[in-house]
Each structure stands twice: as C-alpha cells, then as structure tokens.
C-alpha cells in the first residue's frame, strides 16, 4: 500500500524526526502550516495503513514510523519499475540515464556502484 502525496510529505518529516508529537510535525512544515485537523486526519489514515504508530504520553501522542524510509522507497521504486517499465530494470536504467541531466561524474559513480555490486555477488 502506498501513501498519498500529503501522507508522504508528512512521513518524510516523521522519518527525519524519528519520533514526534503533532506540534513538532506541524512546526516542521513550511509556511503556510497545515491545520491541526489536517495533520490529525493524515496521521489517522497512516495508522490505518500501518505506516505510523504512537505512544501515549500523558494526554499527548508521540508518533513514530513503523516502516523505514528505505523499505518504503524500495517498494515504491519496484512498483514504478513494474508499472512504467514492464518490470525491466534495464529499461528503467536506460530511461534514467537518457532522460535526466546526469553529469559524466555522476554516471561514472553509478557505473562504479554497479561494478561493485557485481563483484560482491
């Protein structure tokens, strides 16, 4: 299950803070800040999707992510490759290298990462 754009934005803030009260999350937003009710609704939906949980501390809730950023991003990228590139990583790589403004240095770094992965396996 994926997050909506608004949920993803909030999740990014929560991943960065690791644990946060609602007021901390709202403060982390740029101006204009969302309403408390908006954040509460997003957090409730994210709990329903099993992405977020909380610990009750007095009358407040301290929220924390149940899914790591790496795990979410991996699932999201794999879904994109499956949906947009016929489940072909090489089609994705071709698109990525041809349609983005990567410098020669960035391309060489990518090649080095791939070569290192091949050597490990």
- Chain segment 20-41, per-residue pLDDT in tens: 999 999 999 999 999 999 999 9
**What are the backbone dihedrals phi and psi of residue 62, each rounded to the nearest 5 degrees, phi first?**
-105, 115
Mean pLDDT to the nearest integer, 2-11: 95
Q: How far apart (Å, rounded) are the C-alpha atoms in residues 113 and 13? A: 29
| DSSP at 67 | S
Of 1-5, 38-42, 58-62, minimum mean pLDDT range: 1-5
| Stronger pLDDT, 13 or 91, i.e. the higher one | 13
pLDDT score for 96: 80
* C-beta separation of 15 from 65 below 8 A: yes
Percent share of the chain, pLDDT over 70: 100
Q: Please name which of 98, 27, 1 lies closest in space to residue 10, comparing C-alpha atoms.
A: 27
Q: How far apart (Å, rounded) are the C-alpha atoms in residues 67 and 50? A: 8
Q: Please name which of 114, 108, 1 lies closest in space to residue 49, comparing C-alpha atoms.
A: 1
Q: State the sign of the Cα–Cα–Cα–Cα dihedral 18, 53, 76, 35.
A: negative
Q: Domains of the chain, with CATH numbers? A: 5-65 (1.10.10.10), 69-120 (no CATH)
pLDDT interval class at 73 (50, 70, 90): very high
**What does DSSP say about strands 60-65 and 20-21: parallel, antiparallel, or unpaired?**
antiparallel
Q: What is the mean pLDDT of the chain?
A: 93
Q: Is 61 helix (H, G, I), strand (E, B) or coil?
A: strand
* C-beta separation of 34 from 26 below 8 A: yes
């Amino acid at each position: 299950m994926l997050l909506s754009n608004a949920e993803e934005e909030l999740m990014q803030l929560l991943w960065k803070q690791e644990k946060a009260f609602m007021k901390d999350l709202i403060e982390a937003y740029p101006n204009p800040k969302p309403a408390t009710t908006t954040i509460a609704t997003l957090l409730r939906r994210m709990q329903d999707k099993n992405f977020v949980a909380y610990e009750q501390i007095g009358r407040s809730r301290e929220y924390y992510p149940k899914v790591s950023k790496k795990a979410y991003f991996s699932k999201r990228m794999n879904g994109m490759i499956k949906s947009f590139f016929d489940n072909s990583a090489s089609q994705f790589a071709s698109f990525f290298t041809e349609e983005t403004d990567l410098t020669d240095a960035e391309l060489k770094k990518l090649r080095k990462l791939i070569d290192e992965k091949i050597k490990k396996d």
